[in-house]
Amino acid sequence: MHDIEPFWNWRHKYSAEEDERSPFFGEEHSEIYFTHAVYDHLIHPQWDSFGSSTLYMKLLFADYDDGFAIIELIGEWNDLLHNDIMLLKRDIVEHLMGQGIRKFLLIGENVLNFHASDDEYYAEWFDEVSEADGWIAMLNFRPHVVEDIQRAGLDQFFLLGGTLNEMRWRTYGPEELFNLVDELVLRRLGA
């Protein structure tokens, strides 16, 4: 896992570390020292910690005018033991929502496992973005992770599966990816 880097091809357009409105403003990353791990597997130092010991992220892009953020995740999403959704919701999502973000694209091809607990924070997040005509879309999560999310009944809070789970998102620019997903979401919601 140590050689899986967050997607870097949009760095010329956006860097969370240089964005004063980002929760990661001012963060510095080593290129040689590995300080984060998922269990006993070191991960690339470019991933950002938000308090979870098993799930890390990278805010790949935030557009405050259009109100969307693209977040890439890596590791194990474990609400049962670590309440990862609470940490993500309270420390990252609420900060971004305070800056006008209401549409979230979560990229999960590097999320290896998912362990559910209750749905309180998912429902809260969903309600808050819905009130602002927003949404939460999950892109390219592994099939067994999607099944675990569905089995826990959490899929009611996300747009996932189908085209969203087969998207070649790296071939698009961030605005183009957002427009494509937004169009899919609007079609699914029947708007």
Structural domains of the chain, ranges and CATH numbers in brackets? 16-189 (3.30.750.24)
Q: In what order do the strands lie in the sheet with 103-115?
A: 55-63, 68-78, 103-115, 135-139
Q: Give the dihedral sign, CA 93/94/99/103.
A: positive
Chain segment 109-162, per-residue pLDDT in tens: 999 999 999 999 999 999 999 999 999 999 999 999 999 999 999 999 999 988
Detail the DSSP E strand segments found in the chain: 37-38, 41-42, 55-63, 68-78, 103-115, 135-139
Nearest to 106 by CA among 123, 124, 88: 88
Nearest to 38 by CA among 27, 25, 50, 52: 52
What is the average per-residue pLDDT within 55-83? 96
For position 56, what pLDDT does the model report?
94
